[in-house]
Amino acid sequence: MAFASDREDINSISMTVLAALVNNYDIDWKDIGRLEIGTETLIDKSKSTKTCLMELFKNSGNHDVEGVTTVNACYGGTNALFNTLNWMESSAWDGRYGVVIAADLAVYAKGPARATGGAGAVAMLIGPNAPLVIETSIRSSFFDNQYDFYKPDPNSEYPTVDGVLSQNTYLNALVKCYDGIKSKSLALGKEDISLMNTDYLCFHSPYSKLVQKSFTQLYWEDLNNGVLSPSDELLSKLEETKEGLKNKEINKLVTKESKTLWKEKTDMTLHLGRN
């Protein structure tokens, strides 16, 4: 588990990755037109982390930089990326780079959830002619109001967590997004999206087991949609109960049968989380 010393905070680790990105890739500070930070970590309820990072732009004289800090548990970094992509595809884009920073110092009270904590920051340079292209024409979201993870006490950095509700909420959102992106793909005249025609799948990974559960869930969706065929053993078990993945034996069988695709498409995405 990564952690920061008492000499670091969300502002300092975000400054570190921004400075490293600009210096390592010889980027002119004046060529950055948008900076957005996605995080759930706050040290001030009003002053944005983004404004603190503007200190690094002073020597260049560049103060014309759009963007703010997007605060949201887990999803903040994703939304900051989406906002920046939207900016680059809009009439507001002035031809300069966008930079997205996803950073957090996740701290939990003593208990089983503490192991899912940690610290990290990454800076992404968004611009034309990139080696990694993001498909923006097909995107699906699912939002719902649940009290599975929240921070109601302003005097504590510890969240209030309902682990079971949080996992179920996430898996439900995953299924809804999967259904949504499949429908949108077909509506645009493109092929139906499934595990079979997807090269790699990366999931939210507060702990490795959730990633495995996520892949199993999508494998189960493809079984139900007829994209994949169940083994005779699984088919026999499915005839005995209508519980689906809530049945432990069925869950184990589906996980077992998805193992080959899991190794090909997702297992390697956990390399950093495991080491």
Residues annotated as catalytic are 40, 74, 204
- 182 contacts: CB under 8 Å, gap ≥ 6: 192, 193, 194
Residue type, 255: T
Measure the CA–CA gap between 84 and 126, rounded to whole angstroms.
8
- 229 contacts: CB under 8 Å, gap ≥ 6: 223
Q: What SS3 class is residue 97? A: strand
- Residue 129, CA atoms < 13 Å, CB-side half-sphere: 2
Measure the CA–CA gap between 253 and 247, rounded to whole angstroms.
10
- 143 contacts: CB under 8 Å, gap ≥ 6: none
Which structure tokens are listed for 257? 């049968």
Name the residue among 141, 195, 218, 202 with its Cα closest to residue 173. 141
Contacts of 116-122 spanning 24+ positions with Cβ under 8 A: 116/206, 116/207, 117/1, 117/3, 118/1, 118/2, 118/3, 119/2, 119/3, 119/4, 119/13, 120/2, 120/13, 121/13, 121/14, 121/16, 121/17, 122/17, 122/77
Task: Give Cα 248 distance to the centre of its chain.
Answer: 27
